[in-house]
Amino acid sequence: MTTTADTLVTTDWLAAHLDDSHVKILDASFKMPGVLPLPKDDYLAAHIPGAVFFDVDAVSDHSNPLPHMFPNAEQFGRDVGALGIGNDDTVVVYDAGGWVAGPRAWWMFLAYGHDKVRVLDGGLKKWRAEGRPVESGAVTPRRATFKANFDARRVRTMQQMVANLESQAEQVVDARASERFEGRVQEPRPGLRSGHIPRSRNLPYNNLFDAATGTMKPLSELRAAFSAAGVKLDAPVVTSCGSGVSAAVLTLALYRLGVENPALYDGSWSEWGLSEGPPVATGPA
């Protein structure tokens, strides 16, 4: 199979590989709690032919009260194998087109040792805008064997983030909207404080893609966006957001810009923002 060196694949590329048995397609669409219809219902109504639904909340650590935290390697391998994905497969992940969870699923695969994973540039939005085929109903895959090996370098815990307050060894960049980052509005998840991790930078994730086409912006514009946010691309970076989902959009952009081993704070503001959590800063970065 011919693959691509880029982290992204185009709709043309995917259309040409729909019948490739070693290309597995995942719909990883996600919405905030309480937003209807549910992502799974959207998937059942219309998805790219052959795509299986990747539920970010289901493929998670169910013993942790925080939302969709990384599971252990054994569970990830079991859950992904149930989706019909084996270690030799190339995985193409997409979401509804708002860059909300496709990159999160992509980063999870990388974190569990699977580098044959790509994100569909523009997602379902671009696919449908081009008049390409969709299908409805569930896809029932044949179970496969997937051996996962967790790479802890790709994920940060709150303990590591607290230690970083002192050392400042890693830059922290927050993907939330500026009004949330600055603490000017209440958080959508009840019970969380408003504000941001002290000394972190703010780059709202939607600044990195073209709203009209749904495609990620050119590398030159991505580089300029990080520079404008005060992020140095030649120094270590950790991304954060509300619950570790949209932060992966920044991680994807950093990865495409050649930043070595960017990491993601899995608990993000759902953990840091708890009432008994670490110090909080407000206002602009």
Distance CA 258, CA 5 (A): 13
Distance CA 196, CA 190 (A): 16
Distance CA 15, CA 128 (A): 12
3-state secondary structure of 285: coil
Q: Is 158 assigned a catalytic role?
A: no
Distance CA 106, CA 114 (A): 9
Whether 220 and 257 have beta carbons less than 8 Å apart is answered as no
Q: What radius of gyration do the chain's Cα atoms show? A: 18
φ and ψ of 111, to 5 deg: -65, -25
Distance CA 55, CA 69 (A): 12
Distance CA 36, CA 189 (A): 16
Tokens 């709203």 -> residue: 211
Which residue, 174, 226, 224, is CA-closest to 202?
174
**Please, is 186 exposed, middle or buried when counting C-beta atoms within 10 Å of its C-beta (0-12, 13-18, 19+)?**
exposed
> Looking at 25, 192, 241, 252, which residue is catalytic?
241
CA 104 to chain centre: 2
The residues annotated with a catalytic role in the active site are: 241
